[in-house]
């Protein structure tokens, strides 16, 4: 024991590094499924008896999550994507002996429910029986309620339960949740599969969801609902919300409900996320029904997604004061969403993240209102620009227009990450022509299939670049007098070392490019010879097995085998997520 005593005083971050090394993965604490693999548990067993610090680190992720199955399905029948800590073969006695009560330590709880059973009272009875009797979550901060289909499918308007009985059972169930998790702050409600077009149309679901939401200051709603009055969520009494996140169907009523909810919580709201399939009227968010201006003094994150296929909409210009004065993160995935500077008014000094669809109309509006001028956005660090697939061709922003917009943003901003999801005909190395762009660390050009020599030029001109996202690259013309077998020596002689910060190249399949694994592997190996720290590459996932085999073959070919010790790092360190 004396030999182990120094281990008790190691800092937590050092203990984490040791545990990560022993378990063979630096990502083990960020992946909720891998911690439950038999191999992981086998490697952890010796660590449990070292000291308290090692036990705390080894099981911190394991005990942070808990699944409470109150549905009609067994754990084996539930969607494995939601089973982050499935413990069918875990020895609970060992955990209890070591002082780890899995439910009392949980901070993130997932509750699987059968909707009809909630209304009938069966769910409450199930929660009072073993193994969940006496179960409580005193540390839980987040609860996700995931509804599963019963044998008869989703519950429709014909529930077959007396309204008084159903209402009482809903109240009792919510009160039980309140007792089990008194400190819960975040509630989400969703079907077991968001891709399953769940249409809730019964008279009770609105009451159930609304009462659950009253327990929290952060709410998330991911249901497709019909707009009948009986299904409208009863949100009028919910106050002091800090986070609202919702995904709804084309129902005007449902979107309006959450916009009204946002306005009523404007003074406390910090994050607002709206996803829908209809047009969102921004004026309804910043002006109430009486025409009064609404300000969100604490809102830091605003994300609006719409899949509306409507034509360009003209809206009256908003003449109020800055509605989002402290906004830091803005996402606009919407065609022709704005006709003025409402989103950007008064927050130039705080905006850090901009993710928006850029078309000709929006670019013109931003230029007209002089939203981006030199030195206007000193804290802007991440810029992601894309085009709408639904936009008519007349609205497409040309590559030249996109770059012009980028140039206007750049001066005075220390941007670290750029994403330009446009179809460029040629590499955008001109981005580096301005000194302001030398601070870029992440550059994403997902629609570009670059030539290797242009990538080399780009990396040389961006000294801090660490991650690059493109389509599969091409070799391009070989320098005069150089053969394919002489390319490795040519690259080393003319370019190495360069891009000392560059470490990862993310590749997607792209369109219209006739590639082979051999060509791509050769290009990656050539770049690895020039960039000393480039050791991660992520090819399209469906081809990773072929890439691995081809990469190993190329490394030991005649032209690369003398550099094999260096290039093996790319083989064994890469080919996974950076």
Sign of CA dihedral 481, 483, 486, 492: positive
Please give the structure tokens belonging to residue 88.
Answer: 């069918």
What pLDDT, on the 0 to 100 scale, is given for residue 493?
A: 96
Residues 257 and 235 sit within 8 Å (Cβ to Cβ): yes
Range of weakest confidence among 385-389, 417-421, 461-465: 385-389
Choice between 428 and 439, residue whose per-residue pLDDT is larger: 439
Please give the structure tokens belonging to residue 405.
Answer: 């917009």
Other Cβ atoms within 10 Å of 96 Cβ, number: 11
> How many angstroms separate the CA atoms of 552 and 571, rounded?
7
Choice between 498 and 39, residue whose per-residue pLDDT is larger: 498
- Residues 37, 38, 43, 44: what is their CA dihedral angle, to the nearest 10 degrees? 70
Range of weakest confidence among 51-55, 138-142, 248-252: 248-252
CA 226 to chain centroid, in Å, comes to 28
Other Cβ atoms within 10 Å of 569 Cβ, number: 15
Give the mean model confidence (pLDDT) for residues 415-429: 73
Choice between 45 and 383, residue whose per-residue pLDDT is larger: 383
322 pLDDT above the threshold of 80: yes
Other Cβ atoms within 10 Å of 362 Cβ, number: 22
Residues 381 and 415 sit within 8 Å (Cβ to Cβ): yes
Half-sphere exposure of 240 (CA within 13 A, CB side): 6
End-to-end CA distance of the chain: 39
- Backbone φ and ψ for 129, nearest 5 degrees, come out as -105, 165
Could you give the C-alpha distances from 122 to 144, 214, 405, in angstroms and in order?
A: 19, 23, 59
Residues 328 and 303 sit within 8 Å (Cβ to Cβ): no
Residues 207 and 238 sit within 8 Å (Cβ to Cβ): no
Give the mean model confidence (pLDDT) for residues 192-213: 67
Give the mean model confidence (pLDDT) for residues 31-41: 47
What pLDDT, on the 0 to 100 scale, is given for residue 539?
A: 76
What pLDDT, on the 0 to 100 scale, is given for residue 409?
A: 81
Give me the residues paired with residue 111 across strands. 68, 145
Residues 148 and 113 sit within 8 Å (Cβ to Cβ): yes
Which residues, 6 or more positions from 147, have their beta carbon under 8 angstroms from its beta carbon?
Answer: 112, 113, 114, 115, 189, 190, 191, 192, 198
What mean pLDDT is reported for the chain?
Answer: 78
> How many angstroms separate the CA atoms of 477 and 493, rounded?
18
Residue 153 DSSP symbol? B
What pLDDT, on the 0 to 100 scale, is given for residue 136?
A: 87
What pLDDT, on the 0 to 100 scale, is given for residue 99?
A: 53
Q: 3-class DSSP state for residue 298?
A: coil
What pLDDT, on the 0 to 100 scale, is given for residue 197?
A: 39
What pLDDT, on the 0 to 100 scale, is given for residue 6?
A: 66
Half-sphere exposure of 166 (CA within 13 A, CB side): 17
Give the mean model confidence (pLDDT) for residues 263-292: 87
What pLDDT, on the 0 to 100 scale, is given for residue 365?
A: 86
Over residues 223-235, the pLDDT tens digits come to: 654 444 445 667 7
What pLDDT, on the 0 to 100 scale, is given for residue 426?
A: 57
Over residues 430-483, the pLDDT tens digits come to: 555 544 577 889 999 888 888 899 899 889 988 999 999 998 888 889 999 999
What pLDDT, on the 0 to 100 scale, is given for residue 39?
A: 56
Give the mean model confidence (pLDDT) for residues 212-219: 90
What pLDDT, on the 0 to 100 scale, is given for residue 152?
A: 57
The strand ranges marked E within 89-141 are 108-114
Sign of CA dihedral 17, 18, 22, 23: negative
What pLDDT, on the 0 to 100 scale, is given for residue 105?
A: 78
> How many angstroms separate the CA atoms of 453 and 434, rounded?
20
In 3D space, the residue among 301, 299, 263 whose CA is nearest the CA of residue 281 turns out to be: 263
What pLDDT, on the 0 to 100 scale, is given for residue 223?
A: 62
The overall pTM is greater than 0.85: no
% of the chain surpassing 70 pLDDT = 68
Burial label for 410, CB within 10 Å (0-12, 13-18, 19+), is buried
Over residues 117-144, the pLDDT tens digits come to: 999 999 999 888 867 777 889 999 999 9
Residues 287 and 281 sit within 8 Å (Cβ to Cβ): no
What pLDDT, on the 0 to 100 scale, is given for residue 101?
A: 62
Residues 332 and 351 sit within 8 Å (Cβ to Cβ): no
What pLDDT, on the 0 to 100 scale, is given for residue 226?
A: 46
Residues 210 and 231 sit within 8 Å (Cβ to Cβ): no
What pLDDT, on the 0 to 100 scale, is given for residue 199?
A: 43
Over residues 55-103, the pLDDT tens digits come to: 666 666 567 778 888 888 777 777 666 665 544 334 444 455 455 566 7
What pLDDT, on the 0 to 100 scale, is given for residue 387?
A: 75
Choice between 10 and 418, residue whose per-residue pLDDT is larger: 418
> How many angstroms separate the CA atoms of 575 and 536, rounded?
6
373 pLDDT above the threshold of 60: yes
Cis before 497? omega within 30: yes
């Amino acid at each position: 024991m004396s030999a182990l005593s120094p281990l008790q005083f190691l800092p937590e971050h050092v203990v984490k590094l040791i545990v990560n090394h022993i378990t063979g993965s630096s990502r083990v604490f960020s992946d909720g499924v891998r911690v439950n693999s038999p191999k992981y548990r086998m490697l952890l067993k010796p660590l449990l008896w070292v000291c308290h610090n090692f036990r705390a680190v080894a099981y911190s992720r394991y005990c942070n999550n808990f699944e409470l199955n109150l549905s009609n399905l067994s754990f084996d029948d539930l969607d494995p994507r939601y089973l982050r800590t499935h413990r069918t073969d875990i020895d609970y006695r060992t955990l209890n002996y070591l002082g780890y009560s899995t439910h009392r330590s949980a901070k993130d709880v997932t509750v699987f429910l059968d909707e009809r059973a909630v209304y009938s009272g069966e769910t409450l009875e199930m929660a009072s029986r073993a193994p969940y009797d006496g179960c409580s979550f005193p540390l839980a901060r987040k609860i996700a309620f995931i509804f599963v289909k019963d044998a008869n499918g989703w519950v429709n308007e014909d529930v077959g339960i007396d309204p008084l009985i159903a209402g009482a059972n809903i109240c009792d169930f919510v009160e039980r949740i309140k007792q089990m998790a008194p400190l819960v702050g975040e509630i989400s409600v969703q079907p077991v599969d968001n891709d399953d077009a769940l249409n809730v149309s019964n008279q009770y679901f609105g009451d159930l969801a609304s009462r659950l939401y009253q327990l929290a200051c952060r709410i998330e709603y991911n249901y497709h609902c019909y707009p009948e009055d009986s299904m409208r969520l009863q949100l009028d009494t919910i106050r002091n919300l800090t986070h609202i996140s919702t995904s709804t169907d084309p129902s005007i009523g449902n979107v309006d409900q959450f916009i009204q909810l946002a306005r009523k919580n404007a003074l406390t709201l910090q994050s607002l996320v709206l996803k829908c399939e209809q047009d969102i009227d921004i004026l309804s968010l910043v002006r109430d029904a009486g025409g009064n201006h609404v300000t969100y003094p604490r809102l830091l994150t605003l994300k609006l997604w719409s899949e509306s296929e409507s034509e360009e909409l003209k809206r009256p210009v908003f003449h109020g004061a800055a509605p989002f004065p402290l906004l830091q993160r803005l996402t606009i995935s919407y065609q022709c969403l704005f006709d003025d500077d409402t989103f950007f008014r008064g927050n130039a000094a705080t905006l850090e993240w901009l993710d928006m669809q850029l078309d000709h109309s929006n670019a013109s509006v931003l230029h007209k209102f002089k939203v981006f001028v030199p030195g206007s956005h000193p804290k802007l660090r991440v810029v992601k620009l894309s085009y709408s697939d639904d936009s008519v061709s007349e609205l497409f922003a040309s590559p030249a227009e996109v770059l012009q917009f980028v140039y206007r943003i750049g001066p005075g901003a220390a941007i670290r990450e750029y994403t330009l999801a446009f179809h460029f005909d040629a590499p955008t190395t001109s981005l580096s022509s301005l000194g302001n762009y030398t601070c870029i660390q992440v550059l994403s050009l997902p629609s570009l299939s670059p030539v290797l020599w242009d990538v080399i030029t780009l990396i040389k001109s961006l000294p801090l670049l660490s991650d690059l996202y493109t389509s599969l690259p091409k070799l391009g013309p070989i320098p005069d007098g150089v053969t394919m077998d002489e390319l490795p020596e040519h690259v080393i002689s003319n370019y190495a070392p360069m891009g000392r910060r560059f470490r990862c190249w993310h590749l997607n399949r792209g369109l219209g490019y006739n590639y082979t694994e051999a060509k791509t592997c050769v290009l990656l190996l050539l770049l690895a010879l020039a960039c000393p720290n480039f050791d991660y590459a992520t090819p399209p996932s469906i081809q990773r097995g072929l890439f691995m085999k081809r990469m190993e073959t190329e490394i030991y070919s005649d032209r690369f085998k003398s550099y094999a010790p260096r290039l093996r790092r790319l083989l064994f360190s890469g080919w996974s997520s950076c």
